[in-house]
Structure 1
Amino acid sequence: MTYQEFLERTHFDKEELLAFSQGNLVENPPHELAKVPAPPFLMMDRVTEIQKSGKKGRIVAEKDVQIDEWFFQCHFREDPVMPGCLGVDAIWQLLGFYCCVNGAPGSGRALGAGEIEFSGQIRPHNKLLRYELEVRRFTMLPDQGACLAIGNGTLSVDGELIYRVNDAKVGLFTDIGYKGYPNRTENFMGGLLNR
């Protein structure tokens, strides 16, 4: 799809999210475009709603729970449960994707979260995860080659609200991407992000 079509979309299916994770969804973007993680770490199967209203917005996504998810195989033996950190990461993934569909350039990075509360769990025989994210602030910082988004997210499993993530923060930054892995190209070392 064209970049303009990408910016105007209000939903994305699994095939489109997979293409986006590989950098193959948008034809000739005008700048560096962040990616969502590729499977198995991609924590959504579809984006069902995107609303934009200036510096605020909303984005909703879903994931179908599979009985053989990679995390059920190791977390924990004889007590399979989805790690809570993956639900938090799903909120960050969704917030980063929101930045992309709002035209932000760069590579995405999770920057933190405020209060996180778990009141339930996800087991292999559950069916559907639903992530809802209210974006409280979306700001482009072109002089710094960055953008910042802050939002409050929830995760429901089969219709029951079980996670809350307040003040999730994601930034997109230009010129920090590490292309050419595993070769030692530019930006091959980690450490403090000076932005």
Structure 2
Amino acid sequence: MAENSSKQNTIKEKVSLEGVGLHTGKAVTLTFCPAEENTGYVFRRTDLEGSPEIEADVSYVVNTQRGTNLEKNGVKIQTSEHVLASCVGLGIDNIIIELNASEPPIMDGSSKFFVEALEKAGIEEQDAEREEFVVNEIICYRDEETGSEIIAMPANEYQVTTMVDFGTKVLGTQNASINNLSEFKTEIADSRTFSFLHELETLLEHGLIKGGDLNNAIVYVDKEISEDTMKKLRVAFNRDKISIKPNGILDNLTLHHANEAARHKLLDVLGDLALVGTRIKGKIIANKPGHHINTEFAKKLSKIIKAEKRNNVPKIDLSQIPIMDVNDIMETLPHRPPFLLVDKIYELTDTHVIGMKNVTMNEPFFVGHFPGKPVMPGVLQVEAMAQTGGILALKSVPDPENYLTYFMKIDNVKFKQQVVPGDTLIFKLELLAPIRRGICQMQGYAFVNGKLATEAILMAQIVKSK
């Protein structure tokens, strides 16, 4: 179930880093920019016409070869996970990530430099409440082919454990855990990406690690190195000499942690699960994780979260005194019976409203709409939602009685349940973005008998009436 917990965060000011993309080898500048409440994580390609944006959403994952790659309307972002992990690890909810190429800079193959940049920019609390997905039951995803498995279970914090087993002598079984995101910066952020020699040879042959040098990837030597391969490695990494350390890694660097590979896999899990778009409250156990299973699990979580949001019937005590009754509503809205379709308002904040309508046998539309089996017309359910949303929209002006709200657009309308005489309709509308220039975008839901009856995205304009 989704619930609110603490405030959302963004950064105080812009901050930039420069480097090269690991797979493209292209020079790239990444700029973190502050973002408004409820923005989430958004990538912006400043090198393309119109600076198109891609939300960090699991529905945009196109492939997971050597990283989690996103694409929307032909615009691509490659290897998104290390940047996203740094945002999650620092508790940032809203941020625009500007890039002048398709791939963020690899830096040293970890999230360390992104964390440093974000801390330099400073983290700022916002007014909106943070939404959390609370894991109330075990959720599991297993890849039968690889034996990889990810489980989410209830816990008081967002916790992650990764267990890796590569079946090689040089890198056997390793585990890594964090019990709180506050541990990310010191325990996980500096853990670098890694590769096995046999993978490296394939990548070199296919020209896939143009930006690679031996300072941004740990290379585990899982086979004998031929002189031919040594020569290729020296050329690829622009080094006169390369050798193997006693611990089985190339001699380019020293491990930051004995279990650095498992910690980096944990970093990847955090980055990939960021694509769910909602903070998680629960424990994730990932056995043999990888970008494919991470993103498949993220898709499963995302579906569950969306279903819960849709069926998240507001818990309203209908016997309590409403904050607006029908007379108060008529002072705000220009509608009058028989076309006033909302009776009471129970909650009203800057970002959401909850209202109610009792559907009686005396409704004038029942006379001609399936009179033998009366059903409330779906379009009137949408109109009732819109009237409730009008109350929310008009809250943004000091003198609502002098304004009107007009429909501009209705999207994604779905009718799920019939509404009949005797039913009580509960409406919930939430702002999808701050009201700008009088334009109000809302996600609307209508519930009946504890189930979702109707949903739609509504856009309205607030216009002065006098």
TM range, smaller chain: 0.5 to 0.7
Picking from 13, 18, 23, the partner of 2:325 is 13
Distance 1:94 1:138 in 2: 17
1:113 aligns with 2:390: no
SS of equivalent residue, structure 2 residue 432: strand
Picking from 79, 83, 87, the partner of 2:373 is 79
CA contact (8 A) 1:46 1:63 kept: yes
Distance 1:112 1:62 in 2: 23
CA contact (8 A) 2:435 2:441 kept: no
Distance 2:334 2:353 in 1: 15
1:46-100 residue CA offsets vs partner (Å, 9 max, x unmatched): 0100111xxxx01000011212111111112212110000111112112222121
CA contact (8 A) 1:87 1:155 kept: yes
Match of 1:102? 396
Match of 1:169? 459
Distance 2:434 2:342 in 1: 21
1:122-179 residue CA offsets vs partner (Å, 9 max, x unmatched): 11132x11001111124242xxxxx1110111111122211111x210101235x6xx
1:66 aligns with 2:356: no
Distance 2:435 2:413 in 1: 23
CA contact (8 A) 1:36 1:97 kept: no
CA contact (8 A) 2:334 2:404 kept: no
Match of 1:51? 349
* Aligned 1:35-46 pairs, distance under 5 A: 35-46=333-344
Which 4+ residue blocks in structure 1 deviate beyond 3 angstroms?
A: none
Q: Give the AA of the match of 1:131.
A: F
SS of equivalent residue, structure 1 residue 131: strand
- Aligned pairs, number: 142
Q: Percent identity?
A: 24
Distance 1:71 1:132 in 2: 23
CA contact (8 A) 2:407 2:460 kept: yes
CA contact (8 A) 1:122 1:157 kept: yes
Match of 2:427? 131
Q: Give the AA of the match of 2:431.
A: V
Match of 2:384? 90
SS of equivalent residue, structure 1 residue 137: coil
Q: Give the AA of the match of 1:67.
A: M
Structure 2: give runs of 5+ residues left out of the alignment: 1-321
Higher relative contact order (CA 8 A, sep 6+): 1
Structure 1: give runs of 5+ residues left out of the alignment: 1-9, 22-34, 142-146, 178-195
Distance 1:65 1:91 in 2: 14
CA contact (8 A) 1:59 1:132 kept: yes
CA contact (8 A) 2:345 2:355 kept: yes
Deviation at 1:17, TM superposition (A): 1.6
CA contact (8 A) 2:356 2:427 kept: yes
Distance 2:327 2:359 in 1: 17
Picking from 109, 122, 143, the partner of 2:419 is 122
1:13-59 residue CA offsets vs partner (Å, 9 max, x unmatched): 122223x16xxxxxxxxxxxxx341111111110100111xxxx010
Picking from 411, 434, 440, the partner of 1:149 is 440
Q: Give the superposed CA RMSD.
A: 1.9
Q: Give the AA of the match of 1:170.
A: A
Q: Give the AA of the match of 1:174.
A: K
Distance 1:63 1:112 in 2: 23
CA contact (8 A) 1:120 1:163 kept: yes
